Amino acid sequence: MVNPICSLLPGDFPWRNRIHLFDCLPSTNDYAKELARQGAPHGTVIIADAQTAGRGRMGRSFHSAKNQGLYLSLILRPQCPPAQLMHLTCAAAESACNAVQQLCGIRPQVKWINDLIMEQKKLGGILTELSVDSKTGLTDWAVIGIGINCGQKRTDFPPELQDMATSLLLSTGNAYSPYNLACALICELHRLSCNLLSGKEKMLRQYEQDCLTIGKDISVSKNGDIFYGKALGIDGDGGLIVLLTDGTTQTVQAGEVSVRGLYGYV
């Protein structure tokens, strides 16, 4: 059977024969990582109509009901040290923002570092995972996982998510097919992969524009400690520059950032 996503892509699209579509997987990221370990090429894309164990950052789960969202993972094989890929999650978030904007005419915002936001609610998220070749010290593979809520109504989300989550349907009033979104996103991710290092600075300045965290009072939770401050900007690797309450400036590369006024944080 013809893969319905391939039939939406241009005939000469370079990753056309590397797009794998499944009814249901535990997690497209886990499947992509397994394929990457087995040698799957750069540009391999895994999409599932549903996930039973969709994963998010910080060990969280990602609600992935059948045909209601886009659940996609991409294998990249950038031949560079992992230290040059600190911006990968930001870059993937920008690709997702571009794809949603193309399809719906509305651009999501980003909550640092990986949450896609519409109307102050979570529309989706990014989970990037990476493996390094211990002999060369270079990146062996990177898997970019992207989940975007498309068709959920409020009551389709579990009760604990209903005040925090949104979908393209809820935020725009229109129904969008996850496969059309997949098509726009795959093209954006291909464009990103061609400019992954050369386009970094320009991409990060756009990320800074899209990042609702900037200028807000935030808390940063890291290794059991909590710091408070104001988010000032994004550095050259995608790190969050924070002015702490003691007057010092720190750049946060990892950890959980809460934004005052978002998701019930007061």
Burial 226-250 (b: 16+ CB within 10 A, else e): ebebbbebbbeebbbbbeeeeeeeb
Question: Which of 62, 112, 176, 227 forms a contact with ligand BTN (CB under 6 A)?
Answer: 62
Q: Is 28 in the site for ligand BTN (CB under 6 A)?
A: yes
Only one of the segments 53-61, 74-82, 92-100, 256-264 lies at the binding site for ligand BTN (rule: CB under 6 A); that segment is 53-61
Question: Which of 126, 192, 196, 204 forms a contact with ligand BTN (CB under 6 A)?
Answer: 126
Distance (Å, whole) CA 175 – CA 171: 10
- Helices 178-194 and 88-104: crossing angle, nearest 10°? 140
Q: Is 150 in the site for ligand BTN (CB under 6 A)?
A: no
What's the DSSP call for residue 191? H
Write the CA distances from 235 to 42, 159, 207, 217, integer angstroms. Answer: 28, 37, 11, 18
Find the residue with minimal CB distance to ligand BTN: 125
Question: Which of 35, 36, 103, 127 forms a contact with ligand BTN (CB under 6 A)?
Answer: 127
Q: Is 220 in the site for ligand BTN (CB under 6 A)?
A: no
Half-sphere exposure of 61 (CA within 13 A, CB side): 11
Q: Is 27 in the site for ligand BTN (CB under 6 A)?
A: yes
Residue 129 Cβ vs ligand BTN, minimum distance, rounded to whole Å: 9
Q: Is residue 151 exposed (0-12), middle (13-18) or buried (19+ Cβ within 10 Å)?
A: middle
Nearer to ligand BTN, 40 or 126 (CB): 126
Q: Is 213 in the site for ligand BTN (CB under 6 A)?
A: no
By the criterion CB under 6 A, which residues form the site for ligand BTN? 27-29, 51, 54-57, 60, 62, 71-73, 114, 125-127, 145-147
